[in-house]
Amino acid sequence: MIATVKGTRDILPPESFVWNRVEAVAREVFHSFGYGEIRTPLMEPTELFTRGIGEDTDIVNKEMYTFPDKKGRSLTLRPEGTAPVARAYISNNMQTLPHPLRLYYIGPMFRYERPQKGRYRQFFQIGAEILGPEEPAADVEMFSLLVDFLNRLEFTDLAVGLNSVGCEACRPGYRAALQAVLQEHKGELCVDCVRRIDTNPLRVLDCKEAGCQPVKKLLPSIGGHLCETCSAHLRFVEEGLNALKIRFELNDRLVRGLDYYTRTVFEVVSGRLGAQNAICGGGRYDRLISDLGGPKVPGIGFAIGQDRLIEILPESFKAKVKPGLDYFIVPVSPNELLPAFELAAKLREQGRSAGVALDGKGLKKGLKFAAATGAVSALILGEEEIKNGEVVVKNLATGEQVKKKIDEL
């Protein structure tokens, strides 16, 4: 038997119906805010991620699926969605389009990491980006979009964390303050954090190793190092979230695992996922497009881990997802098969879903299969019913049967 690759899985009905409904809600919400869908390739030049995400990040160092093609060019299966959107912006000369430019994506990503609850090597993300404005109002809109989507999925117990990681003006001072403390406690840090002292000390704040936690408590807060522009930006975001009645907590230890973030960073966590509890993260990336060779275009976005999201999806939402057909047509004998197909076609033209028992081997077997499909009603079609333009409608939940004219369905 050929098994699935480690860290991947098959998503089968009826679970796939839940996935489809979540994606449908995402599209409904994004469209209501004026966002358009962008679809980028599954593989990109490796340079896009080393330059865009950062060479010292765990994603680039440890987790990317990178391989040479037949001409020796280094390609990588996309590990996240924002850098490909930035590349597409440059490649397609999207600066000529009206701005702000609002985009969203839904699709698979790939990272070589240890599979665990809600985390896979092929995983799926739902993400949104707004490109163009540097004003904090864009940050507030992004939060509004995210919370609207999660509310539509009937979540009530999620926590939103917010922070600022500063900009080119104020981050060097904070970086130096971090390095000073980290150098004093270098011997207490894990191997990765020792390396990060020189390359990216902010990433120490995101380390989950138990031995690094006491040192993290000694590190200074970024709040005291923000320039006035970054402080004002953060204050506006806080005021906007309060105005929209979006609950959040300031977390001065919150950083994201990607180097392109500036100023606003945030995440949404759930207590139902264990230590790796984030289902969504995002932030502002005002330098990413220019760092990749494009124009200076600020941006902000988020990405939701769809696998984790569905893992903790409220039962109240899942209960409303109806995977079954509206009607399952049961021909009493093979003689009624073609009329059954005609009836199914008419029902579908009217916007109903309908299936047909293909073997025509009798009522009992047909009804049993109809119930197994999760259909709401079975339509029994025999010789007498066809002659009278009728059908027997059986409610598969209650067992109630009633004859109806076909035109009344």
Q: Which residues contact 311 (CB under 8 A, 6 or more apart)?
A: 117, 118, 272, 273
Helix (H, G, I), strand (E, B) or coil at 43: strand
Q: Is the pLDDT of residue 134 over 90?
A: yes
Model confidence pLDDT, tens digit, residues 278-306: 889 999 999 999 999 999 999 999 999 99
For the chain, which domains are there? 15-170+226-318 (3.30.930.10), 327-408 (3.40.50.800)
Can you read off the two tokens belonging to residue 109?
């990503």
| Residue 36: burial class (beta carbons within 10 Å; 0-12, 13-18, 19+) | exposed
Can you read off the two tokens belonging to residue 379?
């339509």
Predicted local confidence at residue 276, as pLDDT: 62
pTM for this prediction: 0.89
Model confidence pLDDT, tens digit, residues 247-289: 899 998 888 767 789 999 999 887 666 556 788 999 999 999 9
Predicted local confidence at residue 369, as pLDDT: 86
Predicted local confidence at residue 272, as pLDDT: 67
Predicted local confidence at residue 203, as pLDDT: 84
- DSSP letter assigned to residue 73: -
Q: What is the mean pLDDT of the chain?
A: 91
Model confidence pLDDT, tens digit, residues 394-405: 999 898 999 998
| Residue 321: burial class (beta carbons within 10 Å; 0-12, 13-18, 19+) | middle
| Residue 159: burial class (beta carbons within 10 Å; 0-12, 13-18, 19+) | middle
Look-up of token digits 């040192």: 215
Q: How far is 112 from 24, CA to CA, in rounded Å?
A: 29
Nearest residue to 309 (alpha-carbon basis) of 76, 65, 70, 146: 146
Q: Is the pLDDT of residue 112 over 90?
A: yes
Q: Which residues contact 92 (CB under 8 A, 6 or more apart)?
A: none
